[in-house]
C-alpha cells in the first residue's frame, strides 16, 4: 500500500488518524442509542452533540445545534435541501427552481423529481466553468423559490461565485431560499454560510478524511423560523424532526474529528495542495512528453481538482494503465462512473462527447506530494507513447 499513489480524492479520501481514533473509541465503549434517556444513551448523545458542534464550528457557526442535520450521505443532504424545502410550502404550478447545468447527480435527480411535482427547473449554463450572471438575473422571476448551486464542481474544479449568485438572487427575489452543495469545497475553500448568503449548505465527511455514510445539512435560523424545510425520511423525531432514523454515532464521531483537524490545519493543507497542484500544472504545461495533453482549467478553479483530456486515448484505457503502476485517478465522478452517458459536467463545460471519453480527473489530498505528481506525469508520458489511440 505504501507504494500506491492515490489521486482520486474527489471520490473519497483515506481516513485520517484522528477520525480512526474517535471512531475506535466509540466502537469499543459507546454502544447506546443517542435517543435513549438512560446513561448509556446519554453517553452516545454526548458524542453526537460534540461532533455537531465541531462540524458547525468548521462552518463558522456558533450556537443553535438545530442548525445542523446529520444525514447518511451528501446525496441525502442535497435531496433534503431541494425536496424538503420545495415540498414544505404549497407552491403554485410553475414555481421556479434554478440549478446549474453541471451539478452533481443528486442535485440534478432531485430537480428532475421536482419537475414531476410541477416545478419549472432552469439549468444555468457553465461553459468553461463560468456562471453568466446576466443569465441568472434573467432566470430570477417572481415565481422563483429556490436557487441551488455547488461551490466547487466535482469534475472540473471550477469555483463558482456563489456569494455573488446568492446576493443577486436575494436582491431580486427576497423570499428565495439559497442552497449550496459545498461537498467538494468544504474545508478547502474558505467560506461560511453567512459569508456566501446561504440558507442551506451540504457537506460530507468522506471528502475530508472522515468516514463514508455520514454527512450534514446546515440550515439557517431563518429557514427554521419559517418552517421552510420538511423531512424526506419519515419516522422518529431525530435531528430536530427533520431526519428520522437512529444516528450513526460511530460515523458522526469520525466526522467531528475530521472536521476539527481539517480546520485546525486549514492553512497548511491549502498551502500543500497549492504546492503540489502548481508543480503538476507546470509539468503538464512545460514537459514536451506531455504536450498533447490538454488541461481543462477554468479561470476560477480550486487547487485540488485538475481535469485533463488525453490525445485520442480513452480515459478507461489510461486509467487501467496507471492502475497497473499503482497510480489511481478517475475518469469522472464516482457517482456516475457506471453510467453509459457522457458526463453532464464536462458537456456543460464545453467538452465534446469524444473528448469527454478521453478525459481524466486528478484530485489531490493533503497526503499527496510533489513526488506523487512527478510519478503521475512520468506514467502519463509513458502511456501516451505506448497506448493505442482511437480514430
* Listed residues 208, 232, 264: the one ending a domain: 264
The model's pLDDT over 360-380, given as tens digits with 9 standing for 90+, comes to 999 999 999 999 999 999 999
Same-domain pairing of 174 and 106:
yes
Catalytic site residue 377? no
* Rounded average pLDDT over 74-97: 94
Same-domain pairing of 198 and 318:
no
Same-domain pairing of 218 and 345:
no
Residue from 173, 178, 335, 358 carrying the catalytic annotation:
335
Q: Does residue 371 lie in a domain region?
A: yes
Burial 34-70 (b: 16+ CB within 10 A, else e): beeeeeebebbbebbeebbbbbbebbebeeeeebbbb
pLDDT at 113 over 50: yes
pLDDT of residue 337: 47
Close Cβ partners of 149 (under 8 Å, ≥ 6 residues apart): 99, 100, 103, 124, 131, 160, 162, 165, 179, 180, 181
pLDDT at 63 over 90: no
Query: How far is CA 206 from its chain centroid?
Result: 10
* Listed residues 204, 231, 264: the one ending a domain: 264
Q: Does residue 106 lie in a domain region?
A: yes
How many domains does the chain divide into? 2
User: At 287, phi and psi to the nearest 5?
Assistant: -75, 115
List, in sequence order, the alpha helices (H) in the chain: 17-29, 39-58, 74-86, 105-116, 133-139, 162-172, 193-196, 221-226, 249-264, 266-286, 315-323, 344-349, 353-356, 370-386
Distance CA 310, CA 331 (A): 11
Q: Does residue 39 lie in a domain region?
A: yes
The model's pLDDT over 7-49, given as tens digits with 9 standing for 90+, comes to 999 999 999 999 999 999 999 999 898 998 899 899 999 999 9
pLDDT at 334 over 70: no
* Rounded average pLDDT over 195-216: 98
| 1 confidence band (pLDDT: 50, 70, 90) | very low
Share the mean pLDDT of the chain.
95
Same-domain pairing of 260 and 298:
no
Range of the domain at 144: 17-264
Query: How far is CA 380 from its chain centroid?
Result: 27
State the CATH number of the domain containing residue 169. Answer: 3.40.640.10
* Listed residues 231, 247, 264: the one ending a domain: 264
* Rounded average pLDDT over 275-280: 98
Q: Which three cell numbers stand for residue 339?
A: 453510467
Same-domain pairing of 253 and 276:
no
Report yes or no: 51 and 256 within 8 Å, Cβ to Cβ.
yes
Q: Does residue 193 lie in a domain region?
A: yes
Distance CA 166, CA 143 (A): 16
pTM for the full predicted model: 0.95
361: three-class secondary structure by DSSP: strand
pLDDT of residue 91: 83
pLDDT of residue 336: 47
pLDDT of residue 202: 98
Same-domain pairing of 256 and 284:
no
Same-domain pairing of 280 and 256:
no
Q: Does residue 391 lie in a domain region?
A: no
Amino acid at each position: 500500500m505504501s507504494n500506491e499513489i492515490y489521486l482520486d480524492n474527489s471520490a473519497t479520501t483515506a481516513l485520517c488518524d484522528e477520525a480512526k481514533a474517535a471512531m475506535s473509541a466509540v466502537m469499543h465503549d459507546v454502544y447506546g442509542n443517542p435517543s435513549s434517556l438512560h446513561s448509556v444513551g446519554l453517553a452516545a448523545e454526548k458524542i453526537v452533540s460534540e461532533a455537531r458542534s465541531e462540524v458547525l464550528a468548521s462552518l463558522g457557526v456558533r450556537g443553535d445545534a438545530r442548525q445542523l442535520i446529520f444525514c447518511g450521505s451528501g446525496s441525502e443532504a442535497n435531496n433534503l435541501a431541494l425536496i424538503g424545502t420545495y415540498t414544505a410550502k404549497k407552491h403554485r404550478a410553475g414555481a421556479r427552481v434554478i440549478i446549474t447545468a453541471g451539478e452533481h447527480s443528486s442535485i440534478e435527480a432531485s430537480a428532475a423529481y421536482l419537475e414531476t411535482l410541477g416545478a419549472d427547473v432552469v439549468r444555468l449554463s457553465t461553459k468553461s466553468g463560468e456562471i453568466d450572471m446576466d443569465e441568472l438575473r434573467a432566470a430570477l422571476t417572481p415565481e422563483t423559490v429556490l436557487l441551488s448551486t455547488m461551490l466547487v464542481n466535482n469534475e472540473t474544479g471550477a469555483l463558482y461565485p456563489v456569494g455573488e449568485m446568492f446576493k443577486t438572487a436575494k436582491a431580486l427575489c427576497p423570499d428565495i431560499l439559497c442552497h449550496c452543495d459545498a461537498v467538494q469545497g468544504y474545508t478547502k475553500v474558505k467560506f461560511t454560510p453567512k459569508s456566501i448568503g446561504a440558507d442551506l449548505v451540504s457537506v460530507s465527511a468522506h471528502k475530508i478524511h472522515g468516514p463514508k455514510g455520514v454527512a450534514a445539512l446546515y440550515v439557517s435560523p431563518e429557514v427554521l423560523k419559517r418552517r421552510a424545510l420538511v423531512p424526506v425520511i419519515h419516522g422518529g423525531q431525530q435531528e430536530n424532526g427533520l431526519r428520522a432514523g437512529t444516528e450513526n454515532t460511530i460515523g458522526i464521531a469520525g466526522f467531528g474529528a475530521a472536521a476539527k483537524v481539517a480546520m485546525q490545519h486549514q492553512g497548511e493543507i491549502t498551502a500543500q495542495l497549492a504546492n503540489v497542484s502548481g508543480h503538476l500544472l507546470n509539468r503538464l504545461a512545460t514537459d514536451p512528453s506531455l504536450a498533447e495533453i490538454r488541461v481543462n482549467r477554468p479561470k476560477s478553479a480550486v487547487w485540488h481538482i485538475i481535469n485533463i483530456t488525453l490525445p485520442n486515448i480513452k480515459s478507461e484505457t489510461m486509467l487501467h494503465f496507471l492502475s497497473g503502476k499503482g497510480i489511481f485517478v478517475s475518469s469522472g465522478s464516482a457517482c456516475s462512473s457506471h453510467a453509459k452517458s457522457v458526463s453532464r459536467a464536462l458537456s456543460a463545460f464545453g467538452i465534446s462527447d469524444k473528448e469527454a471519453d478521453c478525459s481524466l480527473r486528478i484530485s489531490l489530498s493533503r497526503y499527496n506530494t510533489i513526488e506523487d505528481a512527478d510519478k503521475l506525469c512520468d506514467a502519463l508520458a509513458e502511456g501516451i507513447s505506448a497506448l493505442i489511440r482511437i480514430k
